[in-house]
Structure formats: C-alpha cells, structure tokens
Structure 1
Amino acid sequence: MTAVEEKLQLPRIYKQTVKMALYDLCIVGAGMMGSAAARHASEKSGVKVCLIGPQEPKIREIVSGNEVFGTHYDEGRIMRATATSPLWADLAKRSEERYRELENLSGVQFYHEIGALTVGTRYGQFIGRTKSSLKGGPKGYDNVEILAAKELNDKFPYLTFADNDEGIMEKSRAGYINPRKMVMAQIVVAVNQGCDVIRDIVLNIEKLQGVYKLTTERGKIIWTKKVLLATNAFTGMHQLLKNPVSYKAMPQTVTLAAVSENTAKRLSQMPVVLYEGKGGESWSKTYPRDSSDNIQFYLLPPIKYPDGKYYIKIGHSDDILKGSLELTDIRKWYSGKGDEELEEELFKLLDTIFHGVRFENHHGDACATMVTPGKQPYIDLLSPTLAVALGGNGYAAKSSDEIGRIAADLILTSKWTYDIPKENFKVKFHVPSKL
C-alpha cells in the first residue's frame, strides 16, 4: 500500500465529520461518475461541494447490512477508444486525455497502457462498426494495426482464434484502468479541493423553500442548493426521484481464473481483448451464443487482486442474459458470486481460448449495470437545480471522468454548453418526475 493509499484510510476522508452547512451542490452516489463530478465541481472557486455515498464493504454479504453497492469494486476495467458506438468512443478519448493528470494530482496510479485488441469474424458487423468508429478510417488512424488471422496467432501465441477472424489492435492510449483506484484518485483530488465526503446513503430528497433537504440512512440532514444524482443501478431503490427513470439493472457475472506469478509475468504485455464472432474450432461448444449465433466476451490480462493472487478475467455480453434484476434482488445479487452455470461456461470458454496457460482455480463475481433504452448515458437537467448522471450501460468506467465533467458543468451552470447535442444524453422516465 502506498503512502497515498494509507492516507485514504484516515477518518478525515472516509468518516468525515461535516459541520451543518448549506452546500452549493451535493452529489449523491460516490462511484466512478459521482466521484468524477465531485472532482470537477470542487475545482470551481467558491463552490461548496459534498459527495455522499457508502464505502465499499469489507465483506459483501447480506448480513453485512449494506444495501447499496458499486460497480467499481474491482481491479480491472477496459479502456479503449475503438468502439462500435461513436458517442462512447468520444467520451472515452476525452476521459483518457486526463488520466495521467489525475494520477499526478492524486498520487494514485490506476491506468495501465497495454493496448486493446478487438477481434471478430472478418467482414462481420462487429469489426465493421469498430472500423467505422476510427476517424479517417484504419489507414488514417496511426494508433491502430489491422491484423489478419495468421498475424493474430503469431503475435499472440497464447491465444487461439478462428481462421476467418480479423483483429484491430489499438496500440497505445488503451489497456485497462483500476476502478477502485480511479475512484480513490478522484476523491483524493476532490477532498484536496475542499469537497466534503459523507459515507452514508441518501434515503430521501425533499425540496423546501428553494433548497433541498437530504435525509440519510444514519439520520443526517444535509441542506444544499443543487443536487446531482449519480446512483446508477440503485437509482430506483429509494425513489429519490419519486418516479423512476427508465432503465434495467442487468446482472453481470465474471470468471476470475487464477494463474501463477510466473504466468502473470509471461503475459504481462497481453492486451485487453474484446470478441464477437463465430469462435475458434477448439473453443467450448457449450458457451451460449447470441441471437446472431455469435460468441461475445471480453477478457483482461493477469491482474493482481487484493488477496495477492493474479487473475485473468472474462465476462459476457448482455445478449445472452435471461432478464434484468428487480430492485429487491440487487442486494442479494451483489452479495453472491454471480450465476454459477454461466460462470462455469465462462471458465470453459476461457480455458479453450488460451494455449499453454494453466489455471490454478477459478471463481465468480457479480455486479449490475444500469442499461438505458438507447444504451446511452443520462446526463440531464430535470430542473435548474436538479440533474442526473446515470446509465453506465457497461461502458462508463473508461468514460466516467468526462461524464462527471459534463454533469458538474451542467448542474453548476444550469444550462447545456457541451459540444455534443444534449439529445444524446436526455433522460427517459416511465412518467414525468415530480421532484
């Protein structure tokens, strides 16, 4: 643990005693988007900001008492600017431009620039959409290398691909971020800029005589002129908006497969991998396919986790899921290890994708993503004093700094000044909000 990380354990940040005050802005939700918004809002001179959200529990069990969790409870999330969605690609690029600045300001390292490899069936829609996201096309994008199947297998001999697969290798400014440490970095900088951090859960938001009264689980009353909600999949849990926004909480299962330290060193230059296609001949035949008969997955290289072990992580797409979670089930889901059958299928697929790699053991982990109807983020003003930054859709970790920056500017100025049309970020409600 570094000196900065040790500093973060001090009560000054995580168990801060906050004097009764009227804040200019309270951000509800201390995950990746909320912490980013707190950092960007608190850098404005004369703006008094607080960030409210629970700390990560030491043990994720139902009996622990926690009912609100975060998708950032992990050591690895993919960073790439090549994406099938131009909007998400743009948000990722703009965020990445500030990663090193954030590391320098906080003293917390979270960005690992090892490259990103997108692979799929040649001439398939996935590869085609990814190529179209490159400004100027692949030939005009000096950060990208197009790899045929033979080149893929030669360049990455520890992985197996199909003879008709094609790869797009993003050589720099791509890799993975550590979401726990990224949130840590955002909070360190926000606190150094004067932001108060309250480790609690907001149960109710009420507007009284032009200001908001926030009531927390521990009985705190917080007064603020403006509110930004960054509560993601837990947004509907306490009906903070009285009427729910339109979204689904999608259950995510990942397999964490342990490898030896020597294997981790051997694969230290392995890029992150995203795949959508027909799959290799040697791959598991029982892994569920999407409606187009494709296999989809994402893969991260060996990463050292808090237990001291190195794990390769593989995850799935939403296309193979049977349905979304009810709000009443999210707490139980986060306290478990995901879908056991799906976790086994993920490991079988992983074991057949790799060549010459021995896995010591494997286990599952679970989280939930907030998926909006258009799979785009909600960054919107509901009133001049109330805004939301929601809808990660499984893509927001890499883009969270830019999302937080947009949301902070929006709520502080009460107007849209961003260079991308606001219609791309407009929130959808089941019925109009009453707050």
Structure 2
Amino acid sequence: MQDRNHFDVVVAGAGPIGAATARHLSERGASVLVVGPDEPAGFADHDGVWAGYYDQGRLAHVLEVPLMTSMLAMRSIRRFPELQERTGERFATPRHSLTIMPDDSERSGVTAWFNRALLASNAADLNVEVEHLENDQLEREYPELRFAPGHVGIIQRDDAFIVNPRGLVRAELAAAVEQGVVVVRDMVDTIDRSGQGAIVTARSGESWRCEQVVIATGAATNVSGLLPRPLDMRTYGATVVLVEVSDPAEFDIPAMMYLKASGGEVVFGGIVMSPLQYPDGRWYIKCSGKSLLDNPLDSADAIARWVRTGGRQEDIAETLDLLTELLPGKTLGPAHTRPCMVCETPTGLPYIDKVDDRTIVAVEGERGAMSADEIGRLTAGLALDGVWTDGIPHAAFQARWAEAESSPPLVAVAGI
C-alpha cells in the first residue's frame, strides 16, 4: 500500500507538463504525488498564480521552428488518439493548420515562425506533408476569407488539431490517477533539500517526503521561489481576444497563424482560431492580441496585477479590424479579453534538466499544450533513469541560469 507521506517523485505543478510527467512516471512504476491548484473561479479579483492553460483552444501542428519544437509536437500529437481513447476525454479536434505570411518573408528578416521555406523543410524532415499556397491559390482554397494582397500560405492538413488544454490536463491526470498517482489541490511553498531526499511543503502546511522533485510550474517558475536561483527565461502577460459568433457553422475556417504586413510593418502577428465553445456555452473566435511580448512580468505581484486587468483592452479594436477584413460580410458579436501568460527561453526550446541531484525542472511556455506529453515523457525518463537516454541531444534542453543581464528571448507569436 502506498505511503501517502512518502513518494518517489513529487511534481510541483498540475498543468499540461506536470500532469503528463506524472502520467509517464506512474506508467514506469514510480509512486507520484502531484501538487497544483484548481483553476480560479475568475480573474477580476484574483491574487495568486495563473496558468496559460486556462483556455479552450491551442493550435497543435508541426509548422514550427526550430526543428526540435516540431519534433516534440509531432511525438505528442501522435499519442493524442490513444490518450483520448483511454480516458474518454475528447480534447483534440482535427483542424488543418494554415500559416499566412508576406510573400517576401524569406527575404525580409521577419521572425522565423513565418519563414515558409524553413517551415516546409522542418515538416519534410518529419515526413509530414504540407502544401504551398500562393496568393491566388489562397483565394480559391478559402473563398470566404480575404487575405491582404501579397501574402502566401503553407497548410498542414494531417496531424493538425485544435487542442483544449483544460481537456488535455484532465486526460493526463485521469490516466495518471488510474495508475495510482495522488493529486493534491494546493501549491508547493518550500522544498527542503538539506537531508536525504527532499521534504516538500504546501501552502496549507501539509508536507511529504520524496526522492526527487519535478518543478513544472510554467510561466510562474522564476517567481515560485522553488529553485535556488532564477532561470534564464522571461515571462510575459499576453492577451487573448474572444469574439462571439452566434452560429459557428458560418465560420468554417482553418486554425491560422497570420503575419499580416503592410508598408513594411507588421500589422498583426498571431493566432486566429476557428470557433470554440467556452464554458459559458457560447462560441467564440479566439485571437491572440497584438501586444504579445509587450508586458514583461518579473514578480508574483506583477503577475497577479496583470491577471486582474483582464488583458489589454486596446487589443479588441485591433482584432475586430483584422477579423472584419478577414471575414467580409460575416456578423461578429461582442468581444472581450482574457489574460494569459507565456514564457520564453533564449533558444525557444523547453528546459528539461536536473538542476541538482534531487530536482528536475520542466518548463515550456507557449507550446506547452501541443508538446506537453512528450516533454512529460522526457522528464519522467530523466528522473527515473538518472541520465538522458533519448536520441534528441540533451544539450538542446539544458537549463540556463539567469545572469545579471539575461539573454533576450527568441521572439515568437505562436501558442496562446
């Protein structure tokens, strides 16, 4: 019988990566405790941590850079059907992915996320078929959409999904609990590493002994106080704009990453989702606001203040302008914002690494939902094997400590 005061591994964080790590640990026979809070009821008076996965839709595809990001996503995506069948949680909806960029993006120095040749090369390396669409082909393929002149696209039809991150977490935790994982809805407050193993204490005062700790606290990792010093990563407040639609069937559109440029300047660079049903029962087109990396957050208080704002209200007008142009003749309902958080490492890749002999960190910001299952598998392997055994070089995921002036992040627009 499991000693509920002692575990092989305690996972701090019950989001996509923490839940996936717990599942993969348990499937290899480890005794596991997951400690993480429930989703708050709202954000207007919220005071505490906030998670980016509190949402209904994330794009999951392989049209990403660098190649290792695409590889992590592909490995996770191809396990979605088995996880859905096992748990009955339908968190992944097939939806082809369309990335739109200026036709000179390969020469103009825009972010690599919109370099069509590079995206296609990565897909080819993973044996994923994609199609190039020139401006006139876009018009024929999507007659209901109006893209700005001089823009082209690349489309992935297979192994592309809209993932409900809340549903993904429910599925990962359900599979983990089935294997004996214990879940406690609390927050880890301290980790005592002074003796053998570690003692993990929650905000409630409850504590547990364990051999190892996995810190999977997402964008709040550096402000959690659970690491000996901050990692080289930055956390940003992001805004999601939800635009209500009365009849989702009228909006049969792909999930899009859209870099719209005009006059040599980026007008919009972000996500436009096909309609999603939210917990209030209504349907919304979800867009990432333009101000994705404008709001750095460097403390728990800064995160709490950002969450209480509800997001940048100016993003609403910009988003409605974009959708009115993109979807001419369609009736759009009221729009509102939701706060989100993303984090970035200097390489754009997750950290999956031992930071001491009893602590592993597993953190990914913007692509946590689509890559979480594979990040969890790799983290579990590192914890139980003690060494890196995967064919992907571990150097790509080794953690970096912050210096006095940390490296600038790899600028990205995808994920929220």
* Structure-1-length-normalised TM-score: 0.86
Which of 368, 375, 387 does residue 341 from structure 2 map onto?
368
Residue 14 of structure 1 is matched in structure 2 by: none
Residue 116 of structure 1 is matched in structure 2 by: 97
Q: CA deviation at 1:385?
A: 2.2
Task: Give, in whole Å, the separation in 1 of the partners of 2:59 and 2:13.
Answer: 22
Q: Which string of whole-angstrom CA distances, capped at 9 and with x for unpartnered residues, describes residues 318-342 of structure 1?
A: 7x63341121210122233201112
Instruction: Check the 8 A contact 1:158/1:356 in 2, yes or no.
Output: no
Residue 258 of structure 1 is matched in structure 2 by: 244
Q: Any residues of structure 2 matched to 1:41-60 within 5 Å, and which?
A: 41-45=25-29, 47-60=30-43
Residue 24 of structure 1 is matched in structure 2 by: 8
Q: Which string of whole-angstrom CA distances, capped at 9 and with x for unpartnered residues, describes residues 134-182 of structure 1?
A: 2269xxx663222111221222122211332211111111031000000
Q: Any residues of structure 2 matched to 1:148-167 within 5 Å, and which?
A: 148-167=134-153
Which of 118, 138, 144 does residue 129 from structure 1 map onto?
118
Task: Give, in whole Å, the separation in 2 of the partners of 1:359 and 1:19.
Answer: 55
Task: Give, in whole Å, the separation in 2 of the partners of 1:183 and 1:356.
Answer: 37
Q: Any residues of structure 2 matched to 1:100-249 within 5 Å, and which?
A: 100-125=81-106, 126=114, 127-135=116-124, 143-249=129-235
SS in 1 for 2:98: strand
Q: Which string of whole-angstrom CA distances, capped at 9 and with x for unpartnered residues, describes residues 368-425 of structure 1?
A: 1121122210000112321110132x12211111011101111111111111111100
Residue 360 of structure 2 is matched in structure 1 by: 387
Q: Any residues of structure 2 matched to 1:320-331 within 5 Å, and which?
A: 321-327=293-299, 328-331=301-304
Structure 1 gap ranges (5+): 1-17, 280-284
Instruction: Check the 8 A contact 1:147/1:167 in 2, yes or no.
Output: yes
Instruction: Check the 8 A contact 1:175/1:271 in 2, yes or no.
Output: no
Task: Give, in whole Å, the separation in 1 of the partners of 2:212 and 2:128.
Answer: 44
SS in 1 for 2:124: coil
SS in 1 for 2:284: strand
Which one-letter code corresponds to 2:165 in the other structure? P
The 1:336/1:19 distance shift into structure 2, 3 A limit, reads farther
The 1:67/1:144 distance shift into structure 2, 3 A limit, reads same
Which of 377, 398, 404 does residue 350 from structure 2 map onto?
377
Q: Which string of whole-angstrom CA distances, capped at 9 and with x for unpartnered residues, describes residues 55-89 of structure 1?
A: 10122233x5x512211100000011121321111
SS in 2 for 1:405: helix
Q: Kindly, what percent of the aligned residue pairs are identical?
A: 30
Task: Give, in whole Å, the separation in 2 of the partners of 1:84 and 1:316.
Answer: 21
Q: CA deviation at 1:356?
A: 2.0
Which of 401, 406, 412 does residue 378 from structure 2 map onto?
406
Task: Give, in whole Å, the separation in 1 of the partners of 2:166 and 2:59.
Answer: 13
Task: Give, in whole Å, the separation in 2 of the partners of 1:142 and 1:37.
Answer: 26
Residue 275 of structure 2 is matched in structure 1 by: 302
Q: Which string of whole-angstrom CA distances, capped at 9 and with x for unpartnered residues, describes residues 252-295 of structure 1?
A: 1111000012xx11324x2100122425xxxxx9xxx9xx6463
Task: Give, in whole Å, the separation in 1 of the partners of 2:279 and 2:286.
Answer: 14
Residue 8 of structure 1 is matched in structure 2 by: none
Aligned-CA RMSD value: 2.1
Residue 308 of structure 2 is matched in structure 1 by: 335
SS in 2 for 1:134: helix
2:49 corresponds to 1:68 = yes
Structure 2 gap ranges (5+): 107-113, 405-416
Which one-letter code corresponds to 1:105 in the other structure? R
Q: Which string of whole-angstrom CA distances, capped at 9 and with x for unpartnered residues, describes residues 113-140 of structure 1?
A: 1110011112413223222222269xxx
Task: Give, in whole Å, the separation in 2 of the partners of 1:250 and 1:350.
Answer: 25
